Every structure is written in structure tokens, then in C-alpha cells.
């Protein structure tokens, strides 16, 4: 099983950012209001995620480190209708097989909590611990026992950028949850919950300068809903990572969507600028296959053209209606 977990780790755990993504997704799934991410050495030294979600009892805390024991994927049909982010039940065992892994959790109101320690996929050490609100997971020395993978890691600053980007993508999709990211004790990203005005979260994620340039996008047709914000075409980001697309609240990259967005901007403004776009595309879960990519950043639409056309129409209309 250690070997199987390590193989799974090869697919799921590519770098510190993948660990951050999986753990923060779990925290969101657990109904957390606040998620804190603390990193050391670009996440290669340590990744600590603490949340205030519903936590786990001792049995679940033990089981969540067993491959597929907790998978929410019960029937093949669920693939298409699953609503929570995780569904494979393999992220935690995979992460724990390639790191020194510690979990401390408790259920709300419980008298005792649970601590679980796994070293490079060793058998889990489970013991009682003080109660706490929510869960804290610490992942140390990632890939210490898989030197081949470890060698592929980039500079700490690069790994850190990827890890922060992973949080930003989740933060954009969950404005009702507060996120804090620090590295070596320094705050990198601070975003209190902003359920009222999504522009505040976008400004926290992409830079405060974008706020006054944002206009809403809204289009619904044929079972496709497109909502979100775009910035005026004159506003560009220094780092040019301006397009964020989410399908059913999951960050995804899709060529068809990107080209629909680029086309709409080019038609509006001859000069090609890198657009700033945060777009939520919501479709019937049965009309999209999210299971194409192990890290779920790619999807396959039943009607890709229809979705692309709706996105194009949505952006075009927002560009024409905006006051610039």
C-alpha cells in the first residue's frame, strides 16, 4: 500500500502547491470559515494548514489516511454529479506517503481530539490529543523519501508562487471564506471573508489597483450561467496571469473558454491586451466531465461550443455596457 500511495502521489502531488490545493480544498469541504496556510522554504520545508471546519472523530481521522477508505465516490454515476471538491479519497494517503505528516483534529464540542502521525507512508500512529476547533495538518520535508521527485523542484521562490496561486484560485471561488497565507512568518496574502462584494476578493487576489476597473458580467442561456467580473481593457496585470475561469466553482483551464474570452476582447479593442477576467461558468453537473485530469484542472463539456458562445456573448455585452 505504501507503494500504491507513492504512485498515487506521483499523480496527485506534483509540488508543494498540489499539497496546498488538496488540503485547502478539504478545509473548504469541511465548512471552514477561516483557512490559514503557513509555509516554510516555499512549502518544501513545511506546509501547515489550519481550519475551523467540522473536524473529525478518532475513527475518521484514522480512516482518512487509508486509501479510498473515505472516498465520496460510491458509484460511477457520482462522477458527474459530485458537488464537493474531493472525491477520490486518496489525497491524504498520497501526501503522507511522501512527507512527514501530522494531523490534529477534533469534532465540535468533543472532550478529546485526535493526533495522527505518518512518516513517509509508515503505519499511522493515532493517539488522543487536546480538543481543538477544526483541523490542523502539517506536511514537512515533502519528497524527502522520493529524491527523484525532489530533484524536480524549482527554487523556493518559484514553488512559493505556485502555492500562493493555488490559494488565490480557491479564494476567488470562495469569497465567503477568509484566507491567510504566510511564508517564513511573513504575511503574503490576507483576505477576510467578503460575501457582499466579490470585487473585494478579486482586489485582494489580483491587487488593489484592479478594484475601480471591475465591472460585472452576467449571462444566462440554455442551461449555462456565466457570472463574474472583468476589468476595463486598459487595465493590465504586471504578471499577465489575468484569466481565471471556474466551472461549477472549480478552477479550470480550457482552450475553448480562453479563446472565447480573447476573441471578445479583441473584437472590442483592436490592440491586443491581456484581459483581466474572473468568470464563473455554471452548468448542469451532468453536462461536464471534471474527471479528465488527475488534478482536475481540465474538463470536457458535453456542448463546448454552446458554453464558449455564451461566454463570448457575456464578455461582449459587459464590454459594450461598461462606462469606459
Q: How far is the CB of 131 from ligand ADP (least distance, A)?
A: 14
CA distance 139 to 121: 12
CA distance 229 to 87: 29
Please report whether residue 89 would count as binding ligand ADP according to CB under 6 A.
yes
Instruction: Specify the residue for cell string 476573441.
Output: 263
Please report whether residue 27 would count as binding ligand ADP according to CB under 6 A.
yes
Please report whether residue 30 would count as binding ligand ADP according to CB under 6 A.
yes
Among 47, 48, 51, 162, binds ligand ADP (CB under 6 A): 51
* DSSP-derived secondary structure letter, 142: T
Please report whether residue 70 would count as binding ligand ADP according to CB under 6 A.
yes
Among 64, 173, 206, 288, binds ligand ADP (CB under 6 A): 64
Q: How far is the CB of 54 from ligand ADP (least distance, A)?
A: 6
Q: How is 35-87 classified by DSSP, letter by letter?
A: EEEEEEGGGTSEEEEEE-S----HHHHHHTTSTTTT-S--STTHHHH--SS--
Q: How far is the CB of 87 from Mg ion (least distance, A)?
A: 8
CA distance 301 to 251: 15
Q: How far is the CB of 114 from ligand ADP (least distance, A)?
A: 11
Cross-strand pairs, 134: none
Stretch 86-115 residues interacting with Mg ion (CB under 5 A): 86, 91
Least Cα distance to 149 among 306, 7, 305, 310 occurs for 7
Cell of 204: 485582494
Q: How far is the CB of 235 from ligand ADP (least distance, A)?
A: 36
Q: How far is the CB of 49 from ligand ADP (least distance, A)?
A: 7
Please report whether residue 135 would count as binding ligand ADP according to CB under 6 A.
yes
Please report whether residue 53 would count as binding Mg ion according to CB under 5 A.
no
Query: Virtual CA dihedral for 38, 128, 13, 298, nearest 10 degrees?
Result: -90
- Which lies closer to ligand ADP via its Cβ, residue 55 or residue 275? 55
Q: How far is the CB of 187 from ligand ADP (least distance, A)?
A: 22
CA distance 311 to 317: 10
Q: Which does 310 bind (CB under 5 to 8 A by kind): Mg ion, ligand ADP, none?
A: none
Among 21, 88, 162, 250, binds ligand ADP (CB under 6 A): 88
Alpha helices in the chain (DSSP H): 2-12, 16-29, 58-63, 78-81, 91-97, 147-150, 156-173, 198-206, 255-268, 304-321
Please report whether residue 92 would count as binding ligand ADP according to CB under 6 A.
yes
Interface with ligand ADP: number of residues (CB under 6 A): 21
CA distance 74 to 58: 23
Please report whether residue 132 would count as binding ligand ADP according to CB under 6 A.
no
Phi and psi at 279, nearest 5°, equal: -125, 130
Please report whether residue 26 would count as binding ligand ADP according to CB under 6 A.
yes
For residues 17 to 46, the per-residue mask of contacts with Mg ion, x marking binding by CB under 5 A and - elsewhere, is: ---------x--------------------
Per CB under 5 A, residues contacting Mg ion are 26, 86, 91
Per CB under 6 A, residues contacting ligand ADP are 22, 26-27, 30, 51, 53-56, 64, 70-72, 86-92, 135
Amino acid at each position: 500500500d505504501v507503494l500504491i500511495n507513492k504512485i498515487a502521489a506521483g499523480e496527485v502531488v506534483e509540488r508543494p502547491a498540489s499539497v496546498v490545493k488538496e488540503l485547502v480544498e478539504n478545509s473548504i469541504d469541511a465548512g471552514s470559515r477561516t483557512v490559514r496556510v503557513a509555509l516554510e522554504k516555499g512549502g518544501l520545508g513545511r506546509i501547515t494548514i489550519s481550519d475551523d471546519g467540522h473536524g473529525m472523530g478518532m475513527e475518521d481521522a484514522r480512516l482518512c489516511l487509508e486509501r479510498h477508505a473515505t472516498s465520496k465516490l460510491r458509484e460511477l454515476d457520482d462522477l458527474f454529479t459530485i458537488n464537493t471538491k474531493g472525491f477520490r479519497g486518496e489525497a491524504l494517503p498520497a501526501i503522507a506517503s511522501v512527507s512527514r505528516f501530522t494531523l490534529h483534529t477534533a469534532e465540535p464540542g468533543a472532550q478529546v481530539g485526535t493526533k495522527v502521525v505518518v512518516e513517509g507512508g509508515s503505519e499511522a500512529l493515532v493517539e488522543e490529543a487536546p480538543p481543538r476547533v477544526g483541523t490542523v495538518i502539517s506536511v514537512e520535508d515533502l519528497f524527502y523519501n522520493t529524491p527523484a521527485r525532489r530533484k524536480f523542484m524549482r527554487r523556493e521562490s518559484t514553488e512559493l508562487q505556485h502555492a500562493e496561486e493555488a490559494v488565490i484560485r480557491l479564494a476567488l471561488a470562495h469569497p465567503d471564506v477568509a484566507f491567510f497565507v504566510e511564508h517564513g512568518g511573513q504575511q503574503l496574502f490576507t483576505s477576510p471573508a467578503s460575501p457582499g462584494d466579490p470585487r473585494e476578493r478579486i482586489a485582494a487576489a489580483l491587487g488593489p489597483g484592479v478594484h475601480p476597473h471591475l465591472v460585472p458580467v452576467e449571462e444566462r442561456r440554455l442551461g449555462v450561467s456565466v457570472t463574474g467580473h472583468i476589468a476595463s481593457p486598459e487595465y493590465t496585470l504586471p504578471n499577465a496571469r489575468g484569466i481565471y475561469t471556474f466551472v461549477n466553482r472549480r478552477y479550470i483551464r480550457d482552450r475553448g473558454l480562453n479563446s472565447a474570452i480573447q476573441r471578445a476582447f479583441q473584437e472590442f479593442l483592436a490592440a491586443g491586451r491581456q484581459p483581466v477576467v474572473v468568470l464563473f461558468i455554471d452548468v448542469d453537473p451532468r453536462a461536464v466531465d471534471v474527471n479528465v485530469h488527475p488534478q482536475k484542472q481540465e474538463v470536457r463539456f458535453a456542448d463546448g461550443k454552446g458554453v464558449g458562445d455564451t461566454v463570448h456573448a457575456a464578455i461582449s455585452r459587459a464590454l459594450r455596457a461598461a462606462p469606459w
